[in-house]
Amino acid sequence: MFSTILSAAVVGIEAYPVQVEADICDGLPQFCMVGDLSSEVREAADRVRTALRNTKFALPPKRITVNLSPAHIRKEGTGFDLPIAAALLTALGIIPEESVQDVLIVGEIGLNGKVRSVNGVLQTVMLAKELGCRVCLVPVANVGEGSVIRDIMVVGVENLQELLECLLSFETCKKRARIPEEWKEKRRMHTEDFREINGQEAVRRAAEIAAAGMHNFLMLGSPGAGKSMIARRLPTILPELTLEESLEISRVYSACGLLAGEEGLVKTRPFRAPHHTVSANALAGGGRRVKPGEISLATRGVLFLDELPEFSKSALEVLRQPMEEGQVTISRTSGTYVFPAHFQLTAAMNPCKCGFYPDRERCRCLPGEISQYLHRISGPLLDRIDICAETSRVEYRELTSLVENESSAAVRVRVEAAQRIQKKRYQGTGWQFNSQLPSSAIRRFCPLGNAETEVMEAAFEKMDLSARAYHKIIKVARTIADLEGSKRICREHLLEAIGYRSLDRKFWGR
Amino acid sequence: MTSRERNGIQYIRQEDADYPGKLTAYSGMPKGIYVRGKLPAEERPSVAIVGARRSDSYGNETARRFARELAGAGVQIISGMAWGIDGMAHEGALEAGGDTYAVLGCGVDICYPAGHRDLYEKLLRCGGILSEQPPGMPPKAGHFPARNRIISGLSDLVLVVEAREKSGSLITADFALEQGKDVFAVPGRVGDALSQGCINLIKQGAGVADSPGVILEALGIDEKKNRGKNGEPEKFLLAKEENIVYSWIRLQPVTLEELVKKTELPVRKVMQILVSLELKGCIREIQKNDYVRTD
């Protein structure tokens, strides 16, 4: 007897429909699985057979063939266990064929029939809705992420028994379906706050400007000055996630299995801080089974690279393209994968190898070593950093100070206001933030008056700026003006932007 | 044309007319000198400015300033093109549009240290590169003390800007004393390792150089006569808040953070003022968010 169940495969972060077909007929007892399967999918045969037996449904000694079509997509992962079990039960006549129409099933099964979580349930349910399914049966651990999609019934099943009950009775299905939560605009739940940072006025200000315009940001300073602390708190001054942004992040997290057990969509901006030994694949995405990398896990949030010069050149090289395009494209023979990568880059580094330059009492580096240290960072990467600020040594007095520092919430209000201005300004264009403007668009969106042009000319000469630095400064000045609510870019805004300008190679070791 | 001539390298032997007259007075001087660019002019005053390689910004700025003012008064600056004080002295002289010469511990065609490539090129245009070593000879530790005798030999006096207790620049001072020349040292702060060498020299009788004027006087150059080139030191026109910030900036570097605390102005205002001061030429940013006065 023949049966077919709808399921899905997750490739990269996309879900593709997969038909699980089962056929039971007379012949030598055999359980054969076909359809370009990876090894863990093939193992489903044994898992399902044992699980069914333990749930009191022994498979008859007949010839069983299971096909996962279309046969040209490689099937990976363990999510096919459950639909295969369902297909077999249908082929055996235990489940009526009408019951499995317009139902999408995914899940892994343990030997005792218990259903385990799988990756990519969010996009799977979205796919089910697109295909016009009424019901989606998923592992109970994944029901939180699945149920955020409206207009489709999502039921979490804990074991094979429950699967059967749901498929046999639509009423039971409806009763067990999870009610989707309302998407509330204000759902922030951060544990860290800007209030906890004492002193460091310059870097706080620089961080605020970076957040407002989504500028890439570099902190310079001796070890222990608080660079990581400030980086960690950057997401707390960024605006609340919109539903769209959350969906983008959640799809990536779901595909990596990071949403299992959580309730619904990602609510806070991601903060990713890979160690400097990270490989290019882990950073950008890829690997044998193409998975999203750190930059995609940081999309709509912050990617923090601590000890920037310690990162391998090859790892940093892969950042360039995604930083331009906001997405990363990975090409393989099996196909092309596109993952979102709208991250804001924050980096930290010491001024020299020992970290204490220019304190000559403590710095033991030779002058040549100091300029060499900066040269380890890829020039093109430095080019994409708009803002640079130095953290200073915190004095004891400051550390134990009782002064009230500004909270994240207070800073966020200003950042949100500045971002609203940018949204309005760039409506109709493809850009969202000042940092994204190409140099060709700067004249249009950031016009300068006479006094301002004079300042830029003086700076260009005196500080020996490159054309790229010139444009970056103007963009940052635009953000500073937005933070003040000023329509025009004034002289003061430019002066401040010049002060926070990014490093120049020549700057070092003099 | 030999390859040497093609590279613009001259070899001046002791018996040639062009051989620096100042060197002939002493024994032990090289039989021949390789030159790229020019030789220092005999009739003009020359000062050797030497000091520590791992200098700090106080030493750097002082070397630069002294060199600038001396060169502005027509003095030729001679040094070793090393990291630290040497390099700063050359830079200062070039800033004033003066002539400056470097004596290397390797062949004149080799730029050592490699990081001074730009400086090396400028020296070729505005002065010269000299060496006792033949072209192609790489730098060796033994060459450096030897070249110091040439640096001191070519100058009328030696100025040590910053030196640790055991510094190579003290060797140059020793040679100067042997050659009967005056040695001057810039005093620093008591307790600073980088000032100890200079302090020791002063204890042994070196002149105290607390301003370029002291050196000019020792050379017999009338400061006022040569004021024309320098002009009166610019009185910067500063607004009230700019003055507040400027008053806290010295030759020792001060950070943005410190200025914010001391002036109690909001950080964005301080940053604006600092950049404005930098554009006016009153201060210099030697390191990210670290500032010093320019004179």
Contacts of B281 in chain A (CB under 8 A): 462
Q: Indicate if B99 and B170 belong to the same structural domain.
A: yes
CATH value at residue B81 = 3.40.50.450
Tens digits of per-residue pLDDT, B236-257?
A: 667 888 888 888 887 777 888 8
Q: Is A461 on the interface with B (CB under 8 A)?
A: no
Partnered with residue A296 across adjacent β-strands are: none
Q: What is the pLDDT of residue A508?
A: 47
Residue B3 pLDDT grade (very low, low, confident, very high; cuts 50, 70, 90): low
CATH value at residue A247 = 3.40.50.300
In a domain, A189, yes or no: no
- The overall average pLDDT reported for chain B is 87
Q: Please name the residue of chain A whose CA is at the shortest distance from the CA of residue B116.
A: A368
In a domain, B284, yes or no: yes
Which of A112, A146, A176 is where one domain is finished? A176
Running along chain A, 510 residues long, what does each successive block of 10 average in pLDDT? 91 92 91 89 90 88 92 86 93 89 93 91 93 92 86 90 88 81 67 82 92 93 83 91 90 88 82 93 87 94 92 88 90 87 92 73 72 75 87 68 80 94 91 90 89 90 84 94 92 92 58
Residue holding tokens 């998923």?
A: A138
Structural domain tally of chain A?
Answer: 2
C-alpha to C-alpha distances, A135 to A99, A100, A105, A108, A211, nearest whole angstrom: 10, 9, 9, 18, 42
Q: What percent of chain B has pLDDT over 70?
A: 93
Instruction: Give the C-alpha separation, B283 to B246, whole Å.
Output: 8
Q: Indicate if A293 and A171 belong to the same structural domain.
A: no
In a domain, A288, yes or no: yes
Instruction: Give the C-alpha separation, A328 to A339, whole Å.
Output: 5
DSSP conformational letter for B138: P
Q: Indicate if A484 and A357 belong to the same structural domain.
A: yes
Evaluated on CA atoms A304, A305, A306, A308, the torsion sign reads negative
Q: Is A217 helix (H, G, I), strand (E, B) or coil?
A: strand
Q: Indicate if A147 and A214 belong to the same structural domain.
A: no
Distance from CA of A153 to the nearest CA of B (A): 54
In a domain, A29, yes or no: yes
Q: Provide CB contacts within 8 A for B256, sequence distance 6+.
A: A202, A390, A392, A499, B267, B270, B271, B274, B289, B290, B291
Q: At what angle do helices B267-280 and A450-462 cross, to 10 degrees?
A: 70
Q: Indicate if B248 and B104 belong to the same structural domain.
A: no
Q: Indicate if A167 and A249 belong to the same structural domain.
A: no
Instruction: Give the C-alpha separation, A425 to A490, whole Å.
Output: 18
- B232 versus A272: the higher-pLDDT residue is A272
With an 8 Å Cβ cutoff, are A358 and B279 in contact? no
Nearest to A404 by CA among A204, A219, A198: A198
Of B194, B275, B287, the CB nearest to A499: B275
Instruction: Give the C-alpha separation, A148 to A136, whole Å.
Output: 12
Q: What is the pLDDT of residue B63?
A: 94
With an 8 Å Cβ cutoff, are B258 and A392 in contact? yes
Contacts of A462 in chain B (CB under 8 A): 278-279, 281
Structure tokens at A441: 């668009």
Out of A28-37, B28-37, B112-121, B276-285, pick the least confident: B276-285
Residue holding tokens 């063939």?
A: A65
Q: Please name the residue of chain B whose CA is at the shortest distance from the CA of residue A483.
A: B268
Helix (H) or strand (E) holding A82: helix A81-91
Domain that holds residue A242: 194-507
Q: What is the pLDDT of residue B284?
A: 82
Instruction: Give the C-alpha separation, B263 to B241, whole Å.
Output: 9
Q: Is A397 on the interface with B (CB under 8 A)?
A: no
Of B115, B257, B286, the CB nearest to A358: B286
Please state, as a whole number, how many other Cβ atoms lie within 10 Å of the Cβ of residue A35.
20
Q: Indicate if B202 and B146 belong to the same structural domain.
A: yes
Instruction: Give the C-alpha separation, B277 to B242, whole Å.
Output: 7
Structure tokens at A141: 């651990």
Q: Indicate if A108 and A229 belong to the same structural domain.
A: no
Q: Indicate if A159 and A203 belong to the same structural domain.
A: no
In a domain, B139, yes or no: yes
Q: What is the pLDDT of residue A411?
A: 92
C-alpha to C-alpha distances, B42 to A415, B17, B23, B156, nearest whole angstrom: 66, 12, 10, 10
Structural domain tally of chain B?
Answer: 2
With an 8 Å Cβ cutoff, are A199 and B257 in contact? yes
Which of A124, A150, A176 is where one domain is finished? A176
In a domain, A183, yes or no: no
ipTM of the complex: 0.76
Q: Indicate if A82 and A231 belong to the same structural domain.
A: no
Q: Indicate if B148 and B214 belong to the same structural domain.
A: yes
Q: Indicate if A46 and A88 belong to the same structural domain.
A: yes
Contacts of B274 in chain A (CB under 8 A): 499
CB distance A272 to A299 below 8 Å: no
Interface residue of B287, B290, B294 to substitute, partner A, most A CBs within 10 Å: B287
Q: Indicate if A340 and A489 belong to the same structural domain.
A: yes
Q: Indicate if B223 and B282 belong to the same structural domain.
A: no
Q: What is the pLDDT of residue A170?
A: 83
In a domain, B235, yes or no: no
Q: Indicate if A225 and A86 belong to the same structural domain.
A: no
In a domain, A182, yes or no: no
Contacts of B193 in chain A (CB under 8 A): 361
Q: Indicate if B270 and B196 belong to the same structural domain.
A: no
Q: What is the pLDDT of residue A341?
A: 93
Please state, as a whole number, how many other Cβ atoms lie within 10 Å of the Cβ of residue A165.
13
Instruction: Give the C-alpha separation, A231 to A229, whole Å.
Output: 5
Q: Indicate if A110 and A202 belong to the same structural domain.
A: no
Q: Indicate if B244 and B142 belong to the same structural domain.
A: no
Distance from CA of A247 to the nearest CA of B (A): 37
CB distance B93 to B169 below 8 Å: no
Residue holding tokens 């000023």?
A: A486
Q: Indicate if B203 and B261 belong to the same structural domain.
A: no
Q: Is A202 on the interface with B (CB under 8 A)?
A: yes
pLDDT at B229 over 50: no
> What is the arithmetic mean of pLDDT over B126-143?
91
Distance from CA of B68 to the nearest CA of A (A): 17
Q: Indicate if B86 and B217 belong to the same structural domain.
A: yes
Q: Indicate if A169 and A203 belong to the same structural domain.
A: no
With an 8 Å Cβ cutoff, are A496 and B276 in contact? no
Distance from CA of A129 to the nearest CA of B (A): 52
With an 8 Å Cβ cutoff, are A202 and B276 in contact? no
Q: Indicate if B55 and B195 belong to the same structural domain.
A: yes
> What is the arithmetic mean of pLDDT over B167-193?
91
Q: Indicate if B32 and B85 belong to the same structural domain.
A: yes
In a domain, A187, yes or no: no
Q: CA torsion, points A366, A367, A369, A370, in degrees to nearest 10?
A: 120
CB distance B250 to B292 below 8 Å: yes
CATH value at residue B263 = 1.10.10.10
Partnered with residue A16 across adjacent β-strands are: A9
Q: Indicate if B245 and B226 belong to the same structural domain.
A: no
Q: Is B286 helix (H, G, I), strand (E, B) or coil?
A: strand
Helix (H) or strand (E) holding B130: strand B127-131
Instruction: Give the C-alpha separation, A386 to B38, whole Å.
Output: 44
Domain that holds residue B280: 240-293
Tens digits of per-residue pLDDT, B40-87?
A: 998 899 999 999 998 888 899 899 999 999 999 999 999 999 999 999
Instruction: Give the C-alpha separation, A91 to A25, whole Å.
Output: 10
